[in-house]
């Protein structure tokens, strides 16, 4: 391959191959950074330092590098003592917070599908385990007054640390969705309608199945998270009923009455399901949708709705 000199970039000596910190490269340019990340990724070394930053490449598969034993392996270690890892960066922030008594911040950024959500979950899990371990160690070794074992929530809930970690399955179950580039993309955004409602029919065309995702398994994990967080069975059931009501409501159909500016239900099966889930009368539900009550001056009147409304 022949290229022009001004299009080529300097190459680093072999001793810098697969270097753990790219800030040490003799020639720090786009080509050398890409080559180093590529070589490390081939060996499944997805974490690489770049000065104060930790660069990660999404492997798009599960790796056994986030277990509790790995977490304890990184606890209390200096960054240069261990291979690059998100846990090393997390531990450094934790130690600075504890020792220097200063607030710390971690910015996890990247494009869609880069792994921001997953890495955030790993950071939370790390802090939960390290915090609990530190607390127990202080009690055993120093006898610090007021320090107890990890708090156990009342009822069937888990420890505080477990509850913090288990917030993720619940949030993801209701706030994440599949996108073109990410099967589990966070949708927690400040959204607003920018067009007429009739243009949002495409929202009903979301994918219901995702390759490699077991809905039964995900449901079990969500239920387990509810249990750990201390939700009562009745509360969880009410939440499921609300979700079912929303789904059935999306199936409700209406039609226009002939020669009238009034819509009416096109069948009531879905309305019956919605009413059952919400514990209300199906008749009153349909009436509130087709003839809602509005206030006119000091009086309340029923306003007819056409099909478009």
On whether 112 is known to bind a ligand per the annotation, the reply is yes
179 is in an annotated binding site: no
Contact 119, 59 (CB under 8 A): no
Partners of residue 300 on adjacent β-strands? 295
Q: Is 116 annotated as a binding residue?
A: yes
Residue 111 labeled ligand binder = yes
In sequence order, which residues have a C-beta less than 8 Å from that of residue 64 and are 6 or more positions away? 70
In angstroms, the CA 77 to CA 85 distance is: 12
Asked whether residue 92 is marked as a ligand-binding residue, the answer is no
Report residue 29: phi and psi, to 5°: -135, 175
Contact, 140 vs 127, CB < 8 A? no
Establish whether 117 is an annotated binding residue: yes
Residue 133 annotated as part of some ligand binding site: no
121 is in an annotated binding site: no
Q: Which residues are annotated as a binding site for ATP?
A: 110-117
Q: Which residues are annotated as a binding site?
A: 110-117
């Amino acid at each position: 391959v022949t290229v022009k000199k001004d299009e080529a970039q300097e190459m680093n000596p072999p001793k810098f191959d697969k270097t753990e910190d790219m800030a040490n490269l003799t020639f720090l340019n786009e080509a050398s950074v890409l080559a180093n990340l590529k070589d490390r990724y081939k060996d499944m070394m997805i974490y690489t330092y770049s000065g104060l930053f930790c660069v990660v490449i999404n492997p798009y598969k599960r790796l056994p590098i986030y277990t509790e034993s790995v977490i304890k392996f990184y606890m209390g270690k200096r960054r240069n003592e261990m291979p690059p890892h998100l846990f090393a960066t997390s531990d450094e922030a934790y130690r600075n917070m504890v020792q220097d008594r200063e607030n710390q911040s971690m910015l996890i950024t990247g494009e869609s599908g880069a792994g921001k959500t997953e890495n955030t979950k790993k950071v939370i899990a790390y802090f939960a385990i390290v915090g609990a371990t530190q607390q127990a160690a202080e009690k055993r070794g120093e006898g610090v007054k007021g320090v107890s074992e990890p708090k156990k929530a009342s009822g069937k809930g888990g420890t505080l640390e477990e509850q913090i970690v288990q917030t993720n399955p619940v949030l993801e179950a209701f706030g994440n969705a599949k996108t073109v580039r990410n099967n589990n993309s966070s949708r927690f955004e400040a959204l607003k309608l920018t067009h007429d409602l009739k243009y949002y029919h495409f929202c009903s065309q979301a994918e219901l199945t995702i390759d490699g995702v077991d809905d039964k398994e995900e449901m079990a994990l969500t239920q387990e998270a509810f249990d750990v967080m201390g939700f009562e069975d009745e509360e969880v059931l009410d939440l499921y009923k609300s979700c079912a009501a929303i789904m059935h409501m999306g199936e409700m159909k209406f039609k226009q009455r002939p020669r009238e500016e009034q819509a009416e239900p096109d069948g009531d099966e879905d309305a019956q399901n919605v009413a059952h889930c919400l514990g209300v009368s199906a008749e009153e539900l349909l009436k509130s949708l087709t003839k809602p009550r509005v206030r006119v001056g000091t009086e309340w009147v029923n306003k007819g709705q056409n099909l478009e409304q």
